[in-house]
């Protein structure tokens, strides 16, 4: 889960708090998970990634620098809660983050199938009992 607030941006539509329940999110002008209409951004500008207990920011190709708390950064960096990242004319404040458990699609589907079978079995036994009572 990555929780952040866009505090300043030429794109007034994105000045808000965002919470993503995934370990990687991409931010850019017209590509990724969140599109920010900021002419100084590349189509895909940065990736935020939770890895173990760390939040990392990865600049995408062609990004020469970004700011963390007003200091210039040019490559992957660790972020902390309350850090402010500036990409283009957009400022992002990190609110919170934690690793989101990744479950395989097969495991999730198996769990849902078992749940449906259990629910159907309970309904079926109720119907059978009612049928027997009506005889």
Q: What is the per-residue DSSP string for 38-59? A: -TTS-SS-EEEEEETTEEEEEE
Same domain membership, residue 90 and residue 116: no
Domain of residue 57, CATH code: 2.60.200.20
Q: How many domains does the chain have?
A: 2
Same domain membership, residue 113 and residue 56: no
Residues of the chain with pLDDT under 70: 102-109, 116-135
Same domain membership, residue 31 and residue 71: yes
Q: What pLDDT is recorded for position 112? A: 72
Same domain membership, residue 85 and residue 118: no
Q: What pLDDT is recorded for position 61? A: 87
Contact assessment for residue 38 and residue 88, using Cβ atoms and an 8 Å cutoff:
yes
Beta bridge partners of 109: none
Cα three-residue angle 16-19-25, rounded to 5 degrees: 105
Q: What pLDDT is recorded for position 131? A: 64
List the domain range (segments joined by +) for residue 113: 103-135
Q: What pLDDT is recorded for position 83? A: 98
Same domain membership, residue 108 and residue 86: no
Same domain membership, residue 112 and residue 93: no
Same domain membership, residue 69 and residue 30: yes
Q: What pLDDT is recorded for position 29? A: 94
């Amino acid at each position: 889960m990555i929780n952040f607030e866009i505090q300043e941006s030429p794109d007034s539509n994105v000045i808000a708090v965002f919470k993503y329940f995934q370990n990687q999110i991409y931010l850019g002008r017209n590509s990724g998970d969140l599109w920010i209409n900021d002419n100084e951004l590349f189509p895909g500008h940065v990736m935020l990634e939770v890895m173990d207990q760390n939040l990392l920011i990865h600049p995408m190709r062609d990004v020469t620098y970004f700011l963390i708390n007003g200091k210039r950064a040019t490559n992957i960096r660790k972020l902390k809660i309350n850090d402010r990242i500036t990409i283009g004319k957009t400022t992002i404040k990190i609110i919170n983050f934690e690793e989101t458990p990744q479950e395989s699609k097969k495991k999730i589907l198996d769990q849902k199938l078992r749940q449906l079978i259990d629910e159907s079995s309970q309904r079926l036994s109720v119907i059978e009992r009612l049928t027997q009572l009506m005889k």
